[in-house]
Amino acid sequence: MKRVYLLALLVALLSAGPALAETRYVTDQTEVPMRTGETAQYRIKRMLPSGTPVEVLGSNAGSGYSRVRTEDGTIGFVLTRDLITEPSARDRVATLEARLEELQKAPDQLAVQLTRLKGEHEALQVAHASLSADKSRIEQELATIRQASANVLRITEERTELRKSVADLTRQVAELEQANRDLTNQANQRWFLIGAGVVAGGILLGLILPHLRFRRRKSSWGTL
């Protein structure tokens, strides 16, 4: 009973909808002939089963025929009275039954979709938690890198200062070494001059002393 009610409701809804302006359907007769012309004397091109959709290209009220085209592109003439503005009742019932079956399956499909969405939601929550953990880890690593960078800058500055101090000390050592060499040279020069003076004095004494002894002896002989 419920199924019959739903079918009637769907038929009423479909009937209330706007009809296609350029589409007609073959009546509920078994088959309708499609001819090559607008009278019964023309050859039958093909037989159109009931419910076959056709596109109306034009109608002749005088002959009572309409020029139509099927979905596969075949063009011919059929009696206008054999065309209706809605699908046949048989096709509508089949459509409604299929729709009803879909509606009956809808809760199960919705349940499946809901289960799938819940699973996707849980997966997204897990992914979010993982991303949050990665974010915290990356932030901590970034803070460590920043601290290390600050330490590197400080170490670089200290190294620069040490290099300057080493350069100053090296320069001072070089100056002291040069001063030491200068003092050594001056001392050597003094000792050289002293030695030269001693040698010169010794030579002079060696030259002077013989003369002094000779004069003394000569004067002593004169007194005798």
Name the residue with tokens 């819940």. 118
Residue 69 resides in a domain: yes
More confident residue, 161 or 112: 161
Residue 65 resides in a domain: yes
Residue 155 resides in a domain: no
Residue 30 resides in a domain: yes
Contact 39, 77 (CB under 8 A): no
Lowest mean pLDDT among 65-79, 83-97, 132-146, 208-222: 208-222
Phi, then psi, of 47 in degrees rounded to 5: -100, 130
> Which structure tokens are listed for 63?
């002959």
Contact 78, 65 (CB under 8 A): yes
Using one digit for the tens of pLDDT, what is the confidence trace for 6-26? 555 555 555 554 444 567 765
Lowest mean pLDDT among 122-126, 134-138, 211-215: 211-215
Give the bridge partners for 24, in sequence order: 54
Per-residue confidence band for 80, with pLDDT thresholds at 50, 70 and 90: very high
Which residues fall within 8 angstroms of residue 46, CB to CB, at 6 or more apart? 33, 34, 74, 76
pLDDT for position 19? 45
Query: Parallel, antiparallel, or unpaired: how do β-strands 44-49 and 65-70 relate?
Result: unpaired
CATH number for the domain including 48?
Answer: 2.30.30.40
Range(s) of the domain holding residue 90: 2-106
pLDDT for position 192? 78
Residue 190 resides in a domain: no
Using one digit for the tens of pLDDT, what is the confidence trace for 86-105? 766 666 666 777 777 777 76
- Sheet bearing 83-84, strands edge to edge: 44-49, 31-35, 75-79, 65-70, 53-60, 23-26, 83-84
Using one digit for the tens of pLDDT, what is the confidence trace for 22-67? 677 655 557 889 999 999 899 999 999 888 899 999 999 999 999 9
Give percent of the chain above pLDDT 90: 19
Residue 11 resides in a domain: yes
Total domains in the fold of the chain? 1
